[in-house]
Structure 1
Amino acid sequence: MHVTHLSLADFRSYARAEVALGPGVSTFIGPNGQGKTNLVEAVGYLATLGSHRVSSDAPLVRMGADRALVRAAVTEGGRQQLVEIEVNPGRANRARLNRSAQVRPRDVLGVVRTVLFAPEDLHLVKGDPGERRRFLDELITARVPRLAGVRADYERVLKQRNALLKSAAMARRHGGRGVDLSTLDVWDQHVARSGAELLAQRLSLVEALRPLADKAYDQVAPGGGPVGLDYRGVAEGAVPREELYGLLLGALGEARAQEIERGVTLVGPHRDDLVLRLGELPAKGYASHGESWSLALALRLASYELLKAEGPEPVLVLDDVFAELDAQRRERLAELVAPGEQVLVTAAVPQDVPMALMGARFTVAGGSVDRE
Structure 2
Amino acid sequence: MFVRELALTDYRSWDRLSLELGPEPTILVGRNGFGKTNVLEALFYIATLRSHRVATDAPLVRSGAEVARIVTTVHNSGRELSVDLTIAAQGANKAAINTSPVRRPREVLGILRAVLFAPEDLALVRGDPGERRRFLDEIVVQLRPIAAGAKADYEKVLRQRSALLKTAGSAIRRSAAEADSVMSTLDVWDAQLAQFGAEVTAERLAVVRELNPLVSQTYSYIAPHSRTARIQYRSAAGPEVDACSGGPETVPEIREMLARRLVDVRAKEIDRGLCLIGPHRDDLLLTLGSEPAKGFASHGESWSLALALRLACVDLLRVDGVEPVIMLDDVFAELDTARREKLAEFTSSAEQLLITAAVGADIPAAAAGRRIFVGVNEENGIRRSVILEDRTVGDQQVHRTPAEEESAL
TM-based fold match above 0.5: yes
Aligned to 1:212: 214
Q: 1:337 to 1:170 in 2, by over 3 A?
A: farther
The answer to whether residue 144 in structure 2 is matched with residue 144 in structure 1 is yes
Return the letter of the residue paired with 2:370: A
Tell me the secondary structure at the aligned position of residue 319 of structure 2: helix
Q: d(CA) in 1 for partners of 2:103 and 2:256?
A: 35
Tell me the secondary structure at the aligned position of residue 264 of structure 1: coil
* Greater shift in the superposed pair: 214-223 or 300-309: 214-223
RMSD after superposition: 1.3
The answer to whether residue 306 in structure 2 is matched with residue 300 in structure 1 is no
Give the Å deviation of 1:187.
1.0
Return the letter of the residue paired with 1:361: R
Match of 1:333 among 343, 347, 350: 343
- Where in structure 2 are there 5+ consecutive unaligned residues? 377-384, 392-409
Return the letter of the residue paired with 2:272: R
Q: d(CA) in 1 for partners of 2:125 and 2:259?
A: 30
Higher relative contact order, chain-length normalized (CA < 8 Å, sep 6+): 1
Instruction: Name the larger-Rg structure.
Output: 2
Aligned to 1:46: 46
Q: d(CA) in 2 for partners of 1:254 and 1:103?
A: 39
Match of 1:353 among 351, 360, 363: 363
Q: d(CA) in 2 for partners of 1:311 and 1:194?
A: 30
Q: d(CA) in 1 for partners of 2:125 and 2:321?
A: 27
1:1-372 aligned at under 5 Å gives the runs 1-171=1-171, 176-177=174-175, 178=178, 180-181=181-182, 182-233=184-235, 234=237, 235-238=241-244, 241=250, 242-366=252-376, 367-369=385-387, 370-372=389-391
Give the Å deviation of 1:263.
1.1
Say if 2:371 and 2:390, in contact at 8 Å, map to a contact too: yes
Say if 1:230 and 1:275, in contact at 8 Å, map to a contact too: yes
Return the letter of the residue paired with 1:127: G
Say if 1:25 and 1:360, in contact at 8 Å, map to a contact too: yes
Return the letter of the residue paired with 1:302: A
Say if 1:168 and 1:263, in contact at 8 Å, map to a contact too: yes
Give the Å deviation of 1:311.
4.7
Q: d(CA) in 2 for partners of 1:295 and 1:147?
A: 26
Q: d(CA) in 2 for partners of 1:332 and 1:146?
A: 34
Give the Å deviation of 1:87.
0.6
Q: d(CA) in 2 for partners of 1:169 and 1:65?
A: 43
Return the letter of the residue paired with 1:209: L
* Greater shift in the superposed pair: 149-158 or 308-317: 308-317
Deviations 1:306-360 (A, max 9, x none): 0111352111010010000001110111000111011100000111101111111
TM-score, length basis structure 1:
0.97
Q: d(CA) in 2 for partners of 1:103 and 1:311?
A: 29
TM-score, length basis structure 2:
0.88
Tell me the secondary structure at the aligned position of residue 145 of structure 1: coil
* Greater shift in the superposed pair: 227-236 or 286-295: 227-236
Q: d(CA) in 2 for partners of 1:36 and 1:225?
A: 36
Q: d(CA) in 1 for partners of 2:94 and 2:34?
A: 28
